[in-house]
Structure formats: structure tokens, C-alpha cells
Structure 1
Amino acid sequence: MSEPIPRVLVTRPAADLLETLIARHGPVMFHQSGGCCDGSSPMCYPDGEFLVGSRDVLLGVLGVGDGTPVWISGPQFEAWKHTQLVIDVVPGRGSGFSLESPEGLRFLSRGRAYADDELAVLGGDPPLTGRDWDAGARPSSPPAAIVAEAADACPTPAGRAARLPG
């Protein structure tokens, strides 16, 4: 049996900011924005403040706090299902709706296309939906890993570094 392939990861700097926000606001959640308000940024809310729809998809639970769920709309998941989401943080001010807005930082989604063998594993492990969650289902896989930085989750393909200028 194969190891579960995480659909979402978080960088250490983003996890550190999440820990600060959790200390201030209590448990939090993410919903990956579909382009309204702040582009396609991951929006961070107090857990339960954003109402998850029955067709929304749970990408995973981050290993921060008591677990930080990351949701995406069903149609957006269909478009992005071939991509692992990496939640990172960068300087700047994001949307006024997301909890990190006053911090002078903003969460940012980065992505990595899955390899064919990873897609085969994911095909046999459908994600939970909001409907599943409301019925009491919870993910069987452990919380998503924290990576030191986005480059750890999105490595340069073999041989590509040698072709890059300078």
C-alpha cells in the first residue's frame, strides 16, 4: 500500500504565522479563494466563520494548532486536482477578510503538479466533501506536513537547474 500523498502542505513561515493567529483568535481554517476579492489567495478565518458548502472539498488538515482544515470549492478542485497546494506567506497586505491582513503579511498559494504515479495514488483516495464532513467523516491520513520553505515542496526538476541562466 502506498503512503498517502498530501493535497496541501504549509511552509514553516506560514505555520509560524498561523500559530500566532491561533493564539489570538482560537482555531482557524482556510478556504482557497476562487478569484474573488483577493485573487486566488488562501483565506484564513476563525474556524466555522466561513460556511463550508456541501460540495466544497477538504484538501487536508494542516499540522498546526489542533489541526487547520483547508477547503476549496468543488469546481475549483476539479480544475486544480492535479496540483498540490503549498500555503506560504509573503510580505504585503492581503484581503481585509483574511485574519493575517493586519500583520503586514499575506498567505499565498503555491502549486506543484503531481507526477503521474502520485495522481494514480490520489485517484484511489477521493477527498472528503463538506457533505461528508457534516455527516461526521474525518480524514484518515495524518495532518499535512510542514516544510521549511516552498522550494522543499516544489523542487526544481532534475536537469532544469543546469539550463537556467546565471
Structure 2
Amino acid sequence: MTQRVDITKEASQVIDQLRERHGELMFHQSGGCCDGSSPMCLEKGDLLLNENDVWLGTVHGCEFFMSKDQFEYWKHTHLLVDVTNGRGSSFSLEIPLGLRFIIKSRLFQPHEREDLHPVRYGEEFIN
């Protein structure tokens, strides 16, 4: 199956550092305030999810969610979580390290779209 979200080695290393300090983690990309559509890394459970959030998969042991409205724009793209130097203005856990997670995206190729990993809205999985 084609994964909808992946992660770079560098971003995985940052997650390892954050996991040592904070325990289980999760990602959420809202497309809203603060850093706009930058992914936020949070302690698992710190963000209350509801029917307006879509589960896209897991990256380096962290579940990745996106707001439903944002997903409608991004559902045709492969997302790659990366990290760069700089301080964002969100509540993401990497900010005090002088780093920020970013998303790199590309459109799915036709053969990838035929075998996409399903997403989950609440308890319902759909392609």
C-alpha cells in the first residue's frame, strides 16, 4: 500500500529526542492559526481529536492527524515530514530546540493512487 505520510531520517532523530523527554507523541496538521499548515508534534493525548480530524497513518511511531478541511485540499498528495532550523510560532514540542517540523509534498503518481492506504474519520476507514 502507498503510505500517505512519511518522515525523513533527520526528523525521526528529532522525534527520538522528543520522545525521551515527553513520552508518546502525535502529529496534527490543522491548516489554521500560528504556523498555518506546519505539522505540530505534541504529547499523545494533548490535543483532543474529534470527527473533524482525519488519521493519515503513523510516522516513526507517531500517529499523524489532519483536520478534515485541510485533508480535502491535500488528499491527492504524499506528505513528507522533515525538519529545518528555525523557530516556529506554534505549540509544537521541537520549537525550544531551535527547530521546526515542515511538510514537503508531491502529488501521488497514478499507480500510487490505485493503492492508497486508507484514512480514518473517527472509527470509519475510507480510501
Query: Take 2:18 and 2:76, find their aligned partners in 1: how far apart are those partners?
Result: 30
Find the aligned partners of 1:55 and 1:39 in 2 and give their Cα distance: 17
1:43-78 C-alpha deviation (Å, 9 max, x unpaired): 01100001112231111111x2xx200000112111
Counterpart code for 2:12? A
Does residue 1:126 correspond to 2:118, yes or no? Answer: yes
Which residue of the other structure, out of 53, 58, 83, is the alignment partner of 1:56? 53
User: What are the equivalent positions in structure 2 for 1:22-61 lying under 5 Å apart?
Assistant: 22-61=19-58
Supply the distance in 2 between the matched residues of 1:119 and 1:57 (Cα, whole angstroms). 18
Q: TM-score, normalised by structure 2?
A: 0.92
Runs (5+) with no aligned partner, structure 2: none
CA contact (8 A) 2:56 2:118 kept: no
Task: Map 1:11-160 onto structure 2 (within 5 A).
Answer: 11-62=8-59, 64=60, 67-122=61-116, 125-129=117-121, 131-132=122-123
Q: TM-score, normalised to structure 1's length?
A: 0.71
More strand by share: 2
Amino acid at match of 1:24: R
Q: Could you say which structure has the larger radius of gyration? A: 1
What's the offset of the Cα at 1:39? 1.9
Contact 2:54–2:68 at 8 Å: present in 1 too? yes
Q: Could you list the runs of 4 or more consecutive aligned residues of structure 1 that deviate by over 6 angstroms after TM superposition?
A: none
Count of aligned positions: 125
- Where 2:6 maps in the other structure, the secondary structure is strand
Over the aligned positions, Cα root-mean-square deviation in angstroms equals 1.5
Question: Structure 1 or 2: larger helix share?
Answer: 1
